[in-house]
Structure 1
Amino acid sequence: MMKQCVAAAFFLFVLAGCTTNSAANDIYLIPQNYEGNVYAFYNVKGAPEIQKEGDYQVYTINEEGYFATSTPDMDYRLVTDKYYYVDENGERTRINEDCVRGMGAGSFENGPESVNQIKIKYTGIEVTKNRCGQEFKDSGNGMAQDDVEPVLAKVVARYYGVDLIE
């Protein structure tokens, strides 16, 4: 009987492992004609949870180039993201993957000893219309703090009422 229980437990463990999605399935909905850096900020107090479409998490990017969510953290798995431009009617147009490059991830922490601690994680991509291709994808050198800081400051001001720019 013990062997049967161990075998059954092993089978269930393997079956569960087979059904677990090992990919970070994200859909980025980017305003039509947007070009530049796009950011997703996680663990933002008062921001909405990430919505889902099937197995994909949906990031609706605003006109300022970012999405904020109260979801604590991003997925750290195989990236299988899809990118779309969205017009004013909600119609989606797929963005060529050669026009998108990842910029990495980062974090911000303010007041680690405070009751009002801010601890945000973020990731970013860059979208282009005119420089698409392997050269564009290979030429990225990460996320520049000078680019992300003004956007992060907007998120912190909006959701926490704190001015990071003094």
Structure 2
Amino acid sequence: MKRYFFIIISLILIGGCSHQEKEVGTNELYLIPSGFEGTIIVFYDIPNKPVLEKEGKYSVIRVKFEYLEALEGTEIHQYGIYFTSTQDMNYGTVNNKYYYINENGDRTSINEQCTHVMGNGSFTGEDGKEIKYSTIQITKSQCGEAFYLDGKDDYYTQKEEVKSYWMNYFD
């Protein structure tokens, strides 16, 4: 009888645990101005900025262009950026969607092989507040497995310059 009791309890525990597990993913929908190539950085928990809108299960990131003086005269002086007061980014399996969007609001899907997820990071401002960010790379001219897996070296340089600029801004 004890054996049946332990089997039943084990099944209940296993079944209960599997129902509680929830797939965690990034679920971000990037709306990127048409034709953009380069680094996109999203800063989280920034006061007086909008919270991320939702479109179904996706958090919408409306990318804007900025220019970095330090990179003037290079092909990477333009980058994409978005600031949100949403406190933290999503973590887990990357389930993002990427679209170019034109001035009329029409969307064109970006092939996954034209994207590279650079990852998440953070730094601490002078006031002691942690600033979190996520970064991706987008290309239209170098799509393929190599870009998807490794990105482009110039865009890593761009990311470091952009991050350095904003670190100084938030201090």
TM-score w.r.t. the length of structure 1 is 0.74
Q: Quick one: distance in 1 between partners of 2:138 and 2:151?
A: 11
2:118 matches 1:108: no
Shift of 1:83: 0.1
Q: How does 1:81-100 map to 2 (within 5 A)?
A: 81-100=96-115
* SS state at 2:65 partner: coil
Q: How does 1:100-139 map to 2 (within 5 A)?
A: 100-111=115-126, 116-139=127-150
Structure 2 gaps, min length 5? 1-12, 67-79
Q: Quick one: distance in 2 between partners of 1:93 and 1:46?
A: 30
Which residue, 159, 164, 170 being the options, matches 1:147? 159
CA contact (8 A) 1:33 1:85 kept: yes
- Residue in 2 that maps onto 1:17: 20
- Residue in 1 that maps onto 2:4: none
Shift of 1:93: 0.3
Q: Quick one: distance in 1 between partners of 2:31 and 2:113?
A: 17
Percent of aligned positions with the same letter in both sequences?
37
TM-score w.r.t. the length of structure 2 is 0.72
Max radius of gyration: which structure? 2
* SS state at 1:80 partner: coil
* SS state at 2:143 partner: coil
* Greater RCO (CA < 8 Å, at least 6 residues apart): 2
Shift of 1:45: 1.4
CA contact (8 A) 1:68 1:155 kept: no
Structure 1 gaps, min length 5? 1-9
CA contact (8 A) 2:125 2:167 kept: no
Shift of 1:38: 0.6
2:83 maps to amino acid: A
1:24 maps to amino acid: T
